[in-house]
Amino acid sequence: MKHICEQQLDEETLFVVSQTFKALSDPTRIRILNYLCGTERSVNDIAEALNLGQSTVSHQLRFLKNLRLVKFRREGTTMYYAHDDEHVIDLLHQAIDHAMHE
């Protein structure tokens, strides 16, 4: 089996990888994903904890949901969100560790 660095990447893989990095290039989305790494949260919880507007949080969650980086469940009228890909959370935390490395 070829090492991943030796593999030719198909167009779909390239697109998904670039979209993942695009998602992680926005500070608000980074904050939201990092906040969701522990447990699921409602839009209101996220907005309050991160001092963001509810519409901003909803917009960013829609973006992340479309990339399948977050998942949701509905309980009555409340939507609860959680991260949907441990690989992306690991990548995010590696980037945070790198940024904080002295």
CATH number of 92's domain: 1.10.10.10
Query: Which tokens go with 2?
Result: 């070829």
Residue 19 has pLDDT above 70, yes or no: yes
Residues of 47-72 as b/e, b for ≥16 C-beta within 10 angstroms? beebebeeeebbebbebbeebebbee
The predicted pLDDT at position 42 comes to: 96
Q: What residue numbers bound the domain in which 75 lies? A: 28-100
Q: Is residue 5 part of a domain?
A: no
Question: Dihedral through CA 70, CA 86, CA 42, CA 30, nearest 10?
Answer: -80
According to DSSP, residue 6 is labeled G
Q: Is residue 54 part of a domain?
A: yes
pLDDT digits (tens, 9 = 90+) for 25-51: 999 999 999 999 989 999 999 999 999
Q: Is residue 10 part of a domain?
A: no
Q: Is residue 55 part of a domain?
A: yes
Q: Is residue 48 part of a domain?
A: yes
Q: Is residue 37 part of a domain?
A: yes
Report how many domains make up the chain. Answer: 1
> How far is the first Cα of the chain from the last one, in angstroms, to the nearest whole number?
37
The predicted pLDDT at position 7 comes to: 78
Radius of gyration of the chain (CA): 15
